[in-house]
């Protein structure tokens, strides 16, 4: 077995979930050196996979890990937090299944990933103002040389003349002419 084979993970699965290339693997939480060795192995696998990806796919690449602690009483969050914060190769997200409440621990994991769909449970609004940009438009027009009055006229004309671009241009031009 050569060095490359030794450095690849044994049980990893590559998937494409929509626009996201994902490498899924399990990791045993031994000491910190074991965790680092496992992560190096997964990084090597992801680097190989990235060589087949487009630039857009590389940006979306993830490694998702299922962490199985040998000692359930030990707090592994600090070590896993370090692993998740290291985004040199790609993002890593780690799930530690809670045997007492597997569904809840999985739901918490999904909620912090791109798999979350918060819009499905968010309340909907029929007439929520999405953009409040009138002030921005006025400031931009003034910044580019229009007086306050002319900028306000232009915004009013744009709001009135929706479907006739020729008339809108004529009206905007006329508003700039001295009276």
Q: Residues 4-23: pLDDT tens digits?
A: 445 567 788 999 988 899 99
Order of strands across the sheet with 62-68?
12-17, 20-28, 62-68, 91-95
**Both 7 and 32 in a single domain?**
yes
Range of the domain at 97: 3-119
With a CB cutoff of 8 Å and minimum separation 6, the contacts of 172 are: 154, 157
**Both 112 and 143 in a single domain?**
no
| Residue 129 included in any domain | no
Q: Is the pTM of this model over 0.85?
A: no
Are 46 and 61 in contact by the 8 Å Cβ rule? The answer is yes
Mean pLDDT of the 144-165 span: 86
- Each residue's pLDDT tens digit, 19-67: 899 999 988 777 778 788 888 889 999 999 999 999 889 999 999 988 8
Taking the C-alpha atoms of residue 99 and residue 149, their distance in angstroms, rounded to an integer, is: 67
For the chain, what is the domain count?
A: 2
**Both 159 and 109 in a single domain?**
no
């Amino acid at each position: 077995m050569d060095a490359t084979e030794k450095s690849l993970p044994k049980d990893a699965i590559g998937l494409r979930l929509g626009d996201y290339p994902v490498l899924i693997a399990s990791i045993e939480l031994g000491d910190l050196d074991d965790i680092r060795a496992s992560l190096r192995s997964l990084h090597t696998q992801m680097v190989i996979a990235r060589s087949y990806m487009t630039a857009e796919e590389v940006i979306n690449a993830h490694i998702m890990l299922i962490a199985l602690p040998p000692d359930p009483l030990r707090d592994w969050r600090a070590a896993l937090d370090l692993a998740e914060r290291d985004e040199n190769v790609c993002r890593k997200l780690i799930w530690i299944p809670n045997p007492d409440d597997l569904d809840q621990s999985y739901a918490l994991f999904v909620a912090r990933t791109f798999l979350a769909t918060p819009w499905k449970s968010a309340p909907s609004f029929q007439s929520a103002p999405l953009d409040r940009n009138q002030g921005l438009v006025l400031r931009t027009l003034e910044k580019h040389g229009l007086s306050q009055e002319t900028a306000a006229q232009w915004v009013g004309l744009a709001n009135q003349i929706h479907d006739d671009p020729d008339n809108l241009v004529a009206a905007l031009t006329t508003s700039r002419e001295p009276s």
